[in-house]
């Protein structure tokens, strides 16, 4: 996800630049004032509480603000990220946002501050006051607002300077120049990102075939947990010996249907791949995550080792077609142990549904999930997926 906080004193032009960023990068706009008004208009539980607080002259607490921000993020998974306008406003809110981002397995990529000298701000707002009709566009109120902005904002800006994600642009330039400066900052941040695809689908949906072809085409590394494990056994590594030990102790059967390996075996292999990125643009994950626990592990691994964009794709194939494909595969060299008969095939499909469907639902909520029709010729299905990947890669440019 691309998450940006946009700062600037009154009169800096945040509104114009926010509108530009939201459209260009498909971001969901978050202004605490707008969100609070929306809750009041919708007469929600939070809205009624906010209305009562405001009516009595009180200030809306950070606890309420963080609730509506979290709700906005989780309710809008179809966006590429979020644009925070004027939030966090205080040092404490900076920590609140940090914790919220961690909870949601994402992070703030950059805080962009549009810098304008005080006298320039006053001049712009007084000029606006000649036509706006706003009672607060007078010099006394303007200078009070500016003083409050700088007093509260300096600690927040320092917080993000220390994190290394603070960027400043000269707001005295014309609109298009400021826009270009902001675009350069965003492009630089996106260039650090890897493009990661989590490829879901039932056994027989063609994930392996499509995953390998897509990896080759888009310079991505194909990660299949089954292949990683087989390589460890073949090379007789420490992990390979551990796998063989599990076989020998009867904790895993070589032909077990839907066999699951312990996370402490699988995770180090995936982490090793992420730590040695090389010159690839990202990864395609097949066979991991299989469980909700593994989905949290993968999000943690990606967050730890890369600033990454995640594209979740599910190949959809009707059950009868899956069974037909798996039965047919049993007569080929690529046959799997669970392709042996209809009973084992159905058991494998049922296990996938019981374990993995909840994982897909979780990713749909956090990142959105693109469903691709997996029926048809291999090349046709490939073109459908490739089109989605091309669209995703454009967002990183």
| Chain segment 311-348, per-residue pLDDT in tens | 899 999 999 999 998 888 877 776 666 666 888 888 88
Question: What's residue 258's pLDDT?
Answer: 42
Q: Which residue shows structure tokens 């270009």?
A: 180
- 120 and 238 co-located in one domain: no
**Choice between 217 and 333, residue whose per-residue pLDDT is larger:** 217
CA dihedral 258, 287, 108, 64 (to 10 degrees): -30
Q: Which one of 191, 221, 245 terminates a domain? A: 191
The DSSP bridge pattern shows strands 307-316 and 370-373 to be: parallel
- 170 and 230 co-located in one domain: no
- 327 and 370 co-located in one domain: yes
Helix H or strand E encompassing 117: none
Q: Which one of 191, 222, 244 terminates a domain? A: 191
Question: What's residue 48's pLDDT?
Answer: 92
Q: Which one of 191, 208, 227 terminates a domain? A: 191
87-91, 364-368, 371-375, 385-389: least confident range: 364-368
Question: What's residue 256's pLDDT?
Answer: 43
Are the CB atoms for 94 and 165 separated by under 8 Å?
no
Cβ count within 10 A of residue 2: 24
Positive or negative, the CA dihedral 302, 363, 198, 354 is: positive
**Domain span at residue 205?**
194-394
Are the CB atoms for 45 and 124 separated by under 8 Å?
no
Q: CB neighbours of 73 closer than 8 A, spacing ≥ 6?
A: 28, 30, 82, 100, 104
Question: How many structural domains does the chain have?
Answer: 2
Are the CB atoms for 358 and 377 separated by under 8 Å?
no
**Residue 311, strand partner residues:** 197
- 282 and 184 co-located in one domain: no
- When pLDDT is averaged across residues 254-265 and rounded to a whole number, the result is 62
Express each pLDDT in 276-297 by its tens digit: 777 788 899 998 898 888 888 8
- 264 and 345 co-located in one domain: yes
- 167 and 291 co-located in one domain: no
Are the CB atoms for 62 and 8 separated by under 8 Å?
no
Using only C-alpha atoms, the chain has a radius of gyration, in whole angstroms, of 26
How far, in Å, CA of 300 to CA of 291, rounded? 14
How far, in Å, CA of 321 to CA of 125, rounded? 65
- 178 and 257 co-located in one domain: no
Strands (DSSP E) contained in the chain are 2-7, 27-30, 81-85, 110-115, 166-170, 193-201, 220-224, 282-286, 307-316, 370-373
**Choice between 252 and 133, residue whose per-residue pLDDT is larger:** 133
Cβ count within 10 A of residue 220: 20
C-alpha distances in Å from residue 229, one per residue of 111, 238, 241, 333: 42, 11, 11, 19
Cβ count within 10 A of residue 144: 11
State pTM to two decimals.
Answer: 0.57
- 152 and 6 co-located in one domain: yes
- 93 and 212 co-located in one domain: no
Express each pLDDT in 357-382 by its tens digit: 888 888 887 777 899 999 999 999 99
How far, in Å, CA of 309 to CA of 218, rounded? 15
Q: In the structure, what pLDDT confidence band is assigned to residue 212 with cuts at 50, 70 and 90?
A: very high
How far, in Å, CA of 220 to CA of 205, rounded? 20
- 146 and 130 co-located in one domain: yes
How far, in Å, CA of 313 to CA of 368, rounded? 9
- 115 and 26 co-located in one domain: yes
CATH of the domain at 19: 3.40.50.300
- 141 and 243 co-located in one domain: no
Are the CB atoms for 83 and 28 separated by under 8 Å?
yes
DSSP type of residue 339: G
The mean predicted confidence, pLDDT, of the chain is 86
Are the CB atoms for 315 and 197 separated by under 8 Å?
no
């Amino acid at each position: 996800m691309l998450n940006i906080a946009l700062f600037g004193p009154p009169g800096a032009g945040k509104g114009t630049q926010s509108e530009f960023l939201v459209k260009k990068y498909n971001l969901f706009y978050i202004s605490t004032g707008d969100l609070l008004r929306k809750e009041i208009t919708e007469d929600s539980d939070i809205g009624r509480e906010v209305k009562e607080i405001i009516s009595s002259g009180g200030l809306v607490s950070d606890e309420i603000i963080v609730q509506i921000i979290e709700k906005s993020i989780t309710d809008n998974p179809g966006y590429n990220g979020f644009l925070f306008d004027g939030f966090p406003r205080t040092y404490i809110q900076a920590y609140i946002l940090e914790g919220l981002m961690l909870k949601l397995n994402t992070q703030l990529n950059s805080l962009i501050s549009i810098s304008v000298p005080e006298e320039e701000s006053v001049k712009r707002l007084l000029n606006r006051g000649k036509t706006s009709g706003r009672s607060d566009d007078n010099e006394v109120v303007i200078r009070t607002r500016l003083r409050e902005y700088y007093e509260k904002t300096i600690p927040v800006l320092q917080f993000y300077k220390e994190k290394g994600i603070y960027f400043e642009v000269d707001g005295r330039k014309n609109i298009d120049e400021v826009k270009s400066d902001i675009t350069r900052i965003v492009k630089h941040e996106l260039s650090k990102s890897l493009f990661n695809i989590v490829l879901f689908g039932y056994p027989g949906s063609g994930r392996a075939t499509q995953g390998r072809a897509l990896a080759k085409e888009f310079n991505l590394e194909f990660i299949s947990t089954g292949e990683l494990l087989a390589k460890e056994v073949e090379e007789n590594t420490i992990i390979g010996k551990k796998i063989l030990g599990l076989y020998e102790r009867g904790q895993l059967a070589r032909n077990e249907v839907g066999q699951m390996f312990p996370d402490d075996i699988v995770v180090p292999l995936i982490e090793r791949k992420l730590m040695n990125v090389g010159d690839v643009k990202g990864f395609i994950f097949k066979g991991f995550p299989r469980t909700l626990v593994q989905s949290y592990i993968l999000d943690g691994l990606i967050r730890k080792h890369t600033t990454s964009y995640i594209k979740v794709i599910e190949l959809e194939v009707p059950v009868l077609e899956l069974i037909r494909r798996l039965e047919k595969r049993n007569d080929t060299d690529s046959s799997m142990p669970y392709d042996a008969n209809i009973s084992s095939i159905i058991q494998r499909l049922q296990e996938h549904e019981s374990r993995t469907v909840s994982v897909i639902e979780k990713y749909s909520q956090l990142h959105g999930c693109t469903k691709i029709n997996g029926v048809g010729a291999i090349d046709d299905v490939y073109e459908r997926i490739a089109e989605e990947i091309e669209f995703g890669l454009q967002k990183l440019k």
